[in-house]
Structures are given as structure tokens and as C-alpha cells.
Amino acid sequence: MPRKKHFVLLLVLFGLFLSLPSARADYPYATNSMWADIPPTIDGQLDDIYLNYGPAIVWYITPTSPHIAGFNYIYLLNDAELLYVYIDLLSDNTSETEDMVLFRLDTDNGEESADTYFYHNREMDLGSTPPGLDFTHAYEFSTSPNGNYNHVKWEIQLNLSSMAYNPGPGDVIGYLFAIYIPFAPQYYYPSNDYSTLSPSDESTYNKLRLASEPEPDFTTIIWCIILSISVISAIILTYYLTKRNLLFK
């Protein structure tokens, strides 16, 4: 009987361990980026690295014709040094010189901001303090896995250390996105309501928590150990029964 009690207690403790929350739980912020185990190539293409994680933001807009009302997708990844942003702008199915996509960041935690934005085929960086953001980008006007027609796509790689307060994994960044499409309204994410979001007021920006490198999944490790023990036990038992000529009797 004591052995049975010990066995039941071990099962209960193991069940409690399995019920512990995952190391990658959501945070109480509007947006979370995902940890980039493999850095994406900055070429303007929506590749499997982004698709495997899924979009961080799904943004529905209703521009005027001939632009397309529907969902647009923003993917956000980071590692210890870089932030990766991919904007799949399915609503902008025309390529005009007035097209613009803006990604504005709170560069020094509440007082100054800087813009990185695509304006047709030119890039601009409006620095504040310190001047300039260290980033590279790539633009495409072509199809993507989200839409089989030509549309605007923009990819950015930002060096986090170029921001004044040098944010890293686990830190929070203020940000907003804006879309300017000719003959259509201007769109801001997360809100077009200037009482709650203003491009000139960093305190109204949305919050992005940078992902931290995930900890090992101990549940998977334990199951691997259990499986290994089971396999080894089966091998030992088979060997023992074979030696005693009991296996096939």
C-alpha cells in the first residue's frame, strides 16, 4: 500500500507541473512581437519565417475605389538586437507616387519620436534626438501568399540600439502605423480617433512588447525523458526474457 500511495502522489505532482503556464504567455499590452529564431531576409518578400508565426496585427480598412476594402497584415519579430516589421498592404493595389506607409516609433521613451516611412520609391528617416534610426528596408509591388494580385509590401529591419533608450527583449516600445492612399482617407493604427491617438503625441502611441528568447519547454523535455526510459526498459526486458528463453513461449 505505501508504494501505491507514493505512486499516486507522484502522478498528482506531475499533473500539477503540466498545468503550469507556458513561458510564452501573453502580456497585458496591445501588441506582442515574436522571437525570431531565424532572422528573415530583408527582400520585400513575405516568406515562411513570417507566415509560420502569423501576423501580430490584422488591420481592416475601407478605402475608396479602385483600392480594395479588406484585411491588411503586419508581422512583428525581434531578436536580441533587431526588430523586423513586414507590412502586407493588400488594400493598396495601385502604385502611385503619392502612396505612403509610415511606421512611427517613440525613440526615447515618451519625449521624442522618429519616422521611418516608405514614400513610393524613396525612403526617409526623420530623426529627432538622437538624429536618425539605423534601419534597412525593402519594397515590393507584387503578389503575396495573402493576396494573388499586385499590392504594396514593405519590410523593415531596425537596429534597436539606434533608439535613445536602447530597448531589448522584454521591453516596451511606443509605435503607430499610418497608411496614405491617394483619393482615400488617411488611416492610423490602432485608431483614427485623434482624441486617443495622435502622431505628434508619443503618450498616445500603441504599445509593443518585444519578445524574449523562449525558455526550454520542460513539458516536452520530461516527455522525452519518459519515452527514453520506456524504450530502454523495453530493450532491457526483451534482453532479459530472451536470455531466459521466455520471450516466445
C-alpha span between 213 and 39 (Å, rounded)? 13
Q: How large is the average pLDDT for residues 61-82?
A: 92
- Whether residues 234 and 203 share a domain: the answer is no
In a domain, 197, yes or no: yes
The Cβ-side half-sphere exposure at 97, using a 13 Å CA radius, reads 0
Written as nine digits, the cell of 55 is: 501576423
pLDDT of res. 125: 44
Report the mean per-residue pLDDT for the chain: 75
- Whether residues 8 and 61 share a domain: the answer is no
- Whether residues 160 and 103 share a domain: the answer is yes
pLDDT at residue 10 tops 70: no
Domain of 91, in residue numbers: 31-209
More confident residue, 29 or 102: 102
pLDDT of res. 65: 83
pLDDT at residue 84 tops 70: yes
In a domain, 248, yes or no: no
C-alpha span between 123 and 116 (Å, rounded)? 8
Task: Give the angle subtended at the CA of 244 by the CAs of 238 and 249, to the nearest 5°.
Answer: 80
pLDDT digit string (tens) for 103-146? 888 876 666 666 555 554 444 444 333 446 788 888 888 999 99
Backbone angles phi, psi at 82, to 5 degrees: -125, 145
- Whether residues 128 and 155 share a domain: the answer is yes
User: Is the previous residue joined to 28 through a cis bond, with omega within 30 degrees of 0?
Assistant: no
- Whether residues 152 and 36 share a domain: the answer is yes
Lowest mean pLDDT among 39-53, 122-136, 231-245: 122-136
Q: How large is the average pLDDT for residues 23-41?
A: 73
pLDDT of res. 47: 92
Report the CATH number that the domain containing residue 65 is assigned in CATH.
2.60.40.1190
Residue type, 202: E
Beta strands in 42-185 (DSSP E): 57-61, 70-78, 82-89, 100-106, 113-119, 122-126, 135-144, 147-159, 172-180
- Whether residues 12 and 52 share a domain: the answer is no
In a domain, 26, yes or no: no
Question: pTM of the prediction?
Answer: 0.71
In a domain, 249, yes or no: no
pLDDT of res. 132: 65
C-alpha span between 205 and 214 (Å, rounded)? 27
pLDDT band at 15 (very low <50, low <70, confident <90, very high): very low
- Whether residues 64 and 174 share a domain: the answer is yes
- Whether residues 17 and 128 share a domain: the answer is no
pLDDT at residue 4 tops 60: no
- Whether residues 94 and 64 share a domain: the answer is yes
Longest dimension (CA), the chain: 87
The DSSP code sequence of 64-97 is PTTS--EEEEEEEEE-SSEEEEEEEETT--S--T
C-alpha span between 35 and 137 (Å, rounded)? 19
Domains in the chain: how many in total? 2
- Whether residues 238 and 144 share a domain: the answer is no
More confident residue, 90 or 15: 90
Q: How large is the average pLDDT for residues 179-190?
A: 73
- Whether residues 160 and 45 share a domain: the answer is yes
pLDDT digit string (tens) for 193-218? 656 677 777 778 888 999 999 877 66
Q: Which of 201-205, 219-223, 244-248 has the highest mean pLDDT?
A: 201-205
- Whether residues 124 and 170 share a domain: the answer is yes
